């Protein structure tokens, strides 16, 4: 297919349309504003519905309502707006409703600023009350943002559970060539549970409230089984030059792009560095890190555009105490540089000698 030159946010929106999204509700907040702007033009062209809600809270519950009807629905936001959607995400999960939430993350905490950051991973690992989980996909290129957004709708429908696409302000704003997927015409049958009028059938109820404590516990047990299946079958991870690596950098999203450049420089210096890039942050590639501990790795550096690190704990779980993990990040919306990553690796190796 022909490549197109697209901005990340607009490519995400178009991928959603082509995945079958026919309802979008959102509220303006930088750096994701091109997504609702694009959807406001595109939804009417495909007989879909666009609503700019009066707030982020209203928008997530509009998505809840659309999902009840079986419509593929999406919202997008950033930072503070994602926080406001937390309760609605919990209700989506508790009601077994599929939806896609796109977060083009910014620096924080609080209002923070519109500058890009990787501050929201901890939020998506526990995105609301109730102890539930949602799958989290983290693109590092505009093409991958397209592919993962398209995939997110299928995963959401398969599991009847929300799925998050966690990008950042750099990916949302950059322009790269992409190949867009065809319009999706194959969808999971939802006729057994959607609310489409009860003429000729039994009444249905979509709710996060269960009749008894046993009903609620059984639902939670079923979800726990689903989460374990994610860990066994749905982990996505990229390994870059890890076969002979003696030092590993762990990074995702824009941080991983920067890390790759740093690794090339380190290799030129004779330092055998490699990259592990989680593409699914939930489920996390614990087994990849566990396997690398058999290679006499000198250390693992977790690189992120945030302070403090949000991925460190997961990396440490994968390493199981066999290899020491370090962190390097820049905060305040400052984008780290390959030279800074190289310098950090040098300081670690000197310290470990």
DSSP result, 97-117 = --EEEEEEEB--STT--SSB-
C-alpha closest to that of 107 among 169, 58, 154, 150: 169
| DSSP-based three-state secondary structure for 49 | strand
Fold of 238-352: Rossmann fold (3.40.50)
Instruction: Please tell me the distance from the alpha carbon of residue 66 to that of residue 135, in angstroms, as a whole number.
Output: 20
Domain 4-233 part of CATH 3.40.50.1100: no
Q: For the chain, what percent of residues have pLDDT higher than 70?
A: 99
pLDDT level of residue 68 (50, 70, 90 thresholds): very high
Q: What is the mean pLDDT of residues 208-215?
A: 94
pLDDT at 317 over 90: yes
Q: What is the mean pLDDT of residues 252-259?
A: 98
pLDDT at 313 over 90: yes
Q: What is the mean pLDDT of residues 207-234?
A: 96
- Predicted pLDDT of residue 294: 86
Domain boundaries, the chain: 4-233, 238-352
**Which are the contacts of 113, defined by CB distance < 8 A and separation ≥ 6?**
106, 107, 332, 333
Of residues 128 and 338, more confidence is placed in 338
pLDDT level of residue 200 (50, 70, 90 thresholds): confident
Which residues partner with 96 through β-bridges?
A: none
Instruction: Please tell me the distance from the alpha carbon of residue 52 to that of residue 64, in angstroms, as a whole number.
Output: 15
- Predicted pLDDT of residue 353: 61
* Residue that has been written with the tokens 């490549």 in this structure: 3
pLDDT level of residue 225 (50, 70, 90 thresholds): very high
Q: What is the mean pLDDT of residues 77-82?
A: 96
- Antiparallel, parallel or unpaired: β 73-77 and 99-105: parallel
pLDDT at 1 over 90: no
CATH topology agreement for domains 4-233 and 238-352:
yes
- Predicted pLDDT of residue 2: 80
Which residues partner with 47 through β-bridges?
A: none
pLDDT at 192 over 90: yes
- Predicted pLDDT of residue 140: 98
pLDDT at 244 over 90: yes
């Amino acid at each position: 297919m022909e490549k197109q030159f697209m901005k990340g946010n607009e490519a995400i929106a178009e991928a959603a349309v082509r995945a079958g999204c026919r309802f979008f509700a959102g509220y303006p907040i930088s750096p994701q504003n091109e997504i609702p702007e694009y959807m406001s033009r595109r939804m009417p062209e495909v007989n879909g519905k666009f609503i700019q809600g009066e707030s982020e809270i209203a928008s997530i519950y509009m998505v809840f309502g659309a999902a009840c009807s079986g419509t593929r629905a999406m919202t997008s936001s950033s930072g503070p707006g994602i926080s406001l959607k937390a309760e609605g995400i919990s209700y989506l999960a508790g009601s077994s409703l599929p939806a896609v939430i796109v977060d083009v993350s910014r620096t924080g905490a609080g209002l923070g600023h519109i500058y890009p950051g990787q501050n929201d991973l901890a939020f998506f690992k526990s995105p609301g009350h109730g102890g539930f989980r949602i799958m989290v996909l983290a693109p590092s290129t505009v093409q991958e943002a397209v592919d993962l957004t398209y995939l997110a709708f299928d995963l959401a429908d398969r599991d009847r559970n929300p799925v998050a696409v966690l990008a950042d302000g750099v990916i949302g704003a950059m322009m790269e060539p992409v190949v867009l997927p065809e319009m999706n015409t194959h969808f999971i049958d939802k006729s057994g549970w959607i609310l489409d009028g009860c003429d000729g059938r039994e009444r249905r109820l979509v709710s996060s409230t269960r009749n008894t404590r046993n009903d609620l516990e059984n639902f939670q047990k079923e979800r726990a089984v689903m989460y374990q299946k994610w860990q066994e079958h749905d982990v996505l991870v990229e390994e870059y030059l890890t076969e002979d690596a003696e030092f590993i950098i762990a990074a995702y999203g824009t941080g991983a792009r920067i890390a790759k450049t740093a690794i090339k420089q380190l290799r030129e210096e004779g330092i055998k560095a490699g990259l592990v890039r989680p593409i699914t942050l939930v489920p996390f590639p614990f087994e990849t890190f566990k396997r690398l501990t058999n290679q006499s790795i000198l250390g693992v550096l977790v690189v992120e555009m945030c302070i403090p690190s949000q991925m460190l704990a997961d990396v440490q779980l994968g390493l199981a105490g066999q290899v020491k993990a370090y962190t390097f990040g820049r905060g305040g919306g400052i984008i780290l540089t390959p030279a800074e990553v190289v310098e950090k690796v040098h300081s670690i190796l000197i310290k470990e000698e």
